[in-house]
Amino acid sequence: MESTLGTRLAEGHEDALAECYQTYAALVAGYLRRLVPPQDIDDVRQVVFSEVWRSAHRYDPGRSLEAWLLGIARKRAIDHLRVRTLTTVPLDSVAEPRDGDGRDTADAFGSRDQLRRALAILPGPQREAIELAYYGELTQREIAERLDVPLGTVKARTARGLRKLSAVLSRTAA
């Protein structure tokens, strides 16, 4: 499929871009997730696929379409990071923390980061069940309906995921 899609893309078939996007948009977004801030992924991905269409005539169908796409994604991510302006706030305009010296706030951010990293380690289905339950505030029955899986599957995924989370977090706390 990839070689046929790549050939059609290189020949300028309009439907090839739509198929390319449908097939590889998630891969490109996953790759960009490691390079650009989360709020910028969709914008950079759109730039990537615009360039794919503009430069499709330069694609060599004998080479990997996936590698070509990720090469473009890398270049556009670098361009994006170079032109963005970081917002800085003068220190004298920032209010002093109300409660103490800010260590509690720092600890809360650290704990939140630990939890985010621990969740990232979990297999996708377990992480999804836990996130829908705790962040989405859904019941297990609602999760089962949303994911179109049996209720027992949701319960098992949640239980296994929570056990793994507990093990990972207790290792990092030690």
> Over the stretch 53-75, which tens digit does the pLDDT of each residue have?
898 888 888 888 999 999 999 99
Q: Is 99 inside a domain boundary?
A: no
Domain assignment present for residue 146? The answer is yes
- The whole-number pLDDT of residue 120 equals 84
Residue 146 has pLDDT above 90, yes or no: no
Residue 94 maps to a domain: no
Burial string for 96-126 (b: 16+ CB within 10 Å, else e) reads eeeeeeeeeeeeeeeeeeeeeebbeebeebb
> Could you tell me if 66 and 10 lie in one domain?
yes
Among left, alpha and beta (phi > 0; psi -120 to 50; other), residue 12 is left
Per the domain annotation, does 92 fall within a domain? no
pLDDT at 1 over 50: no
User: Helix 140-147 to helix 124-134 angle, to the nearest 10 degrees?
Assistant: 130
Prediction pTM value: 0.49
What is the total count of domains within the chain?
Answer: 2
Residue of 106, 2, 141 lying closest to 59 (CA atoms): 2
Is residue 27 within 8 A of residue 66, CB to CB? The reply is: yes
DSSP H helical ranges for the chain: 2-10, 14-33, 41-54, 65-83, 103-121, 124-134, 140-147, 151-173
Which of 50, 83, 116 is the C-terminal boundary of a domain? Answer: 83
Task: Say whether both 54 and 111 belong to one domain.
Answer: no
**pLDDT tens digit sequence for 77-86:** 999 988 877 6
Q: Which two tokens stand for residue 136?
A: 């989405």
Question: For residue 96, is it within any domain?
Answer: no
Return the pLDDT at 151.
92
> Is the same domain home to 110 and 67?
no
More confidently predicted of 99 and 136: 136
CATH at 117: 1.10.10.10
Range of the domain at 26: 2-83
Would residue 89 count as lying in a domain?
no
pLDDT on residue 90: 76
